Amino acid sequence: MCGRYGFSFGNLEDIYDRWEIDNEEIAYTASFNIAPTQEAPVVFRASPNHISLVKWGFMPKWMEGKKGARALINARSDGLLTSKTYLKPLQFSRCIVPASFFFEWKNNGSEKVPYCIKIKDEQFFSIAGLLIEQDGVKAYVIITTEPNEIMTDIHNRMPVILNKEDEDYWLSPDNTEAEDLVKLLIPYPTELMEAYPVSGLVNSPRNNFPEVMKPISL
């Protein structure tokens, strides 16, 4: 799964250039510890690309009131084609979740050690997401896939990171063939990524500062 990530930047103009966005600037600053239920930027096609703040995660109607029910924040790539919840969003309301890194926790004996995972030499990357609208309110989920080699030792899932050349295809409303779209939802190349352990500061979303992604020694 993917339950925490960061989106750090110095200037909003860099974001607008990176994803060719053409709308009024959003009131958002860099975040180093984005957690479910928080609002974060997502990019979607609205002739041209548009960026908005959207809540991460939603509670489906059929889960409301159930004991222990939690908001859905991820969608498995291997289940999209048969999902009553996600098939239509896959066809008609895809989005990009801008990120700079994400966190995952590795079982290390009696404890779980958080890791920060990044793309080498890249300030930003695009996570594949789906926009869900319920009762007039939009939310987003992050699509996950099988781990690549660097992630296998950390966790059994990873977010889908889109290749740059696939971003336009993913956002285009002209592309509605679900079978073609899921072909993009594959693990990102291992050799382009890096991962390192970080401190338990990241365990609390209240800790939203650069130190949460500082490497530590095990």
Give, for 197, the enclosing helix (H) or strand (E).
strand 193-197
Strands 111-119 and 125-134: unpaired
For residue 48, say if its preceding peptide bond is cis, omega within 30 degrees of 0. Answer: yes
Q: Is 2 a catalytic residue?
A: yes
Quote the CA–CA distance of 218 and 215 in Å, as a whole number. Answer: 10
- CB contact at 8 A, 56 and 38: yes
Q: Which residue has the tokens 């979740």?
A: 97
Distance (Å, whole) CA 100 – CA 78 = 25
Which residue in the list 2, 95, 116, 167 is annotated as catalytic? 2
* Given 95, 104, 116, 167, the catalytic residue: 104
Gap between the Cα atoms of 204 and 192, Å rounded: 28
DSSP at 178: H
Please indicate whether residue 104 is annotated as part of the active site: yes
The CA distance from 77 to 162, in Å, is 13
Dihedral pair phi/psi, residue 13, rounded to 5°: -60, -30
Residues annotated as part of the active site: 2, 104
